[in-house]
């Protein structure tokens, strides 16, 4: 099974500042035949189901603000929020869908 | 628009069974597989597996074999999760979510979640 590990577990960032969340997979999630990374990012706000933000490691889902971006390849990935807004307070999860699926443990993002 | 509507909260005793439903609308049910995800209170997301809504073939993640069964009723566009021999540690919110781009990438919107509480 592929294990996903996120860092940090929690993060406090000032409004308007950059937030960066890291995700590492125990094996590569890059599929060589199509050169795609099978890596997604989800946002979950309290009392709500998760929402898909990013797929293929760097493609934003329709309607997701462009302050959210994803990067990385192979085993190391990053979710960046370029200018934190109050509504971005949430728990963020990475997920691999290369082999079955598995989620990281989550990163709680708060306002400093 | 796409909607996944799940059944309501359940309170069950240890050893009992529960069946959670997920009714889909707004798309062709057989085109997208259905994922199931568990979230224990205050904890993270666990992918339980998925069911191919075209063939009915289920795939279970490690840790979700034996007591967990995915099923379908395609006549009413509904997926089901049944859990037998319930234990206290099964207390969680269970979500359904369809896989659009790939079978195991749960796409928005997810179901609203069903809280299953196992307690004496």
Q: With an 8 Å Cβ cutoff, are B104 and A104 in contact? A: no
Distance of alpha carbon B10 from alpha carbon A48, whole angstroms: 18
Q: Which residue of A has its CA nearest to B41?
A: A47
Q: Which residues of A touch B37 (CB under 8 A)?
A: 50
Distance of alpha carbon B43 from alpha carbon B60, whole angstroms: 20
Q: pLDDT tens track of chain A, all 112 residues?
A: 999 999 999 999 999 999 999 999 999 999 999 999 999 999 999 999 999 999 999 999 999 999 999 999 999 999 999 999 999 999 999 999 999 999 999 999 999 9
Structure-model confidence comparison of residues B101 and B44, the more confident one? B44
Distance of alpha carbon A28 from alpha carbon A25, whole angstroms: 7
Q: With an 8 Å Cβ cutoff, are B49 and A105 in contact? A: no
Q: With an 8 Å Cβ cutoff, are B109 and A93 in contact? A: no
Confidence of residue B18 (pLDDT cuts 50, 70, 90): very high
Q: Which residues of A touch B59 (CB under 8 A)?
A: 100
Q: What is the pLDDT of residue A53?
A: 98
Place of tokens 């989620």: A103
Looking at residues B49-77, what average pLDDT do you find?
97
Close Cβ partners of A76 (under 8 Å, ≥ 6 residues apart): A22, A23, A24
* A2: Cα within 13 Å, side-chain hemisphere: 24
pLDDT tens, B74-104?
A: 999 999 999 999 999 999 999 999 998 888 8
* B72: Cα within 13 Å, side-chain hemisphere: 19
Total CB pairs under 8 A between chain A and B: 61
Number of Cβ within 10 Å of residue A42's Cβ equals 28
Indicate if the alpha-carbon torsion angle B59, B61, B67, B70 is positive or negative: negative
| Residue A91 C-alpha, separation from nearest chain B C-alpha, in angstroms | 9
Say whether residue A59 is in contact with chain B using an 8 A CB cutoff: no
Considering only CA atoms, give the Rg of chain B: 13
Question: Comparing C-alpha atoms, which of B43, B37, B2, B16 is closest to residue B118?
Answer: B16
pLDDT tens, A13-36?
A: 999 999 999 999 999 999 999 999
């Amino acid at each position: 099974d592929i294990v996903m590990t996120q860092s940090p577990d929690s993060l406090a960032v000032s409004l308007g500042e950059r937030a960066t969340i890291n995700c590492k997979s125990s094996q590569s999630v890059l599929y060589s035949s199509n050169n795609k990374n099978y890596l997604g990012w989800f946002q979950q706000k309290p009392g709500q189901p998760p929402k898909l933000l990013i797929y293929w490691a760097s493609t934003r889902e329709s309607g997701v603000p462009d302050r959210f971006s994803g990067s990385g390849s192979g085993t190391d990935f990053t979710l960046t929020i370029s200018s934190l807004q109050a509504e971005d307070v949430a728990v963020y999860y990475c997920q691999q869908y290369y082999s079955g699926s598995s989620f990281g443990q989550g990163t709680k993002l708060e306002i400093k | 628009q796409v909607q996944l509507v799940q059944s309501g909260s359940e309170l069950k005793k240890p050893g009992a069974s529960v069946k959670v439903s997920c009714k889909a609308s707004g798309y062709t049910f057989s085109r997208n597989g259905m994922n199931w995800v568990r979230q224990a209170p205050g904890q993270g997301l666990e992918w339980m597996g998925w069911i191919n809504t075209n063939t009915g073939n289920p795939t279970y993640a490690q840790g979700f074999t034996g007591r967990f069964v995915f099923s379908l009723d395609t006549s009413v566009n509904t997926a089901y999760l049944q859990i037998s021999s319930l234990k206290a540690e099964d207390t969680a919110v269970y979500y359904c979510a369809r896989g659009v781009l790939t079978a195991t990438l749960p796409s928005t919107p997810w179901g609203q979640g069903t809280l299953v509480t196992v307690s004496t």
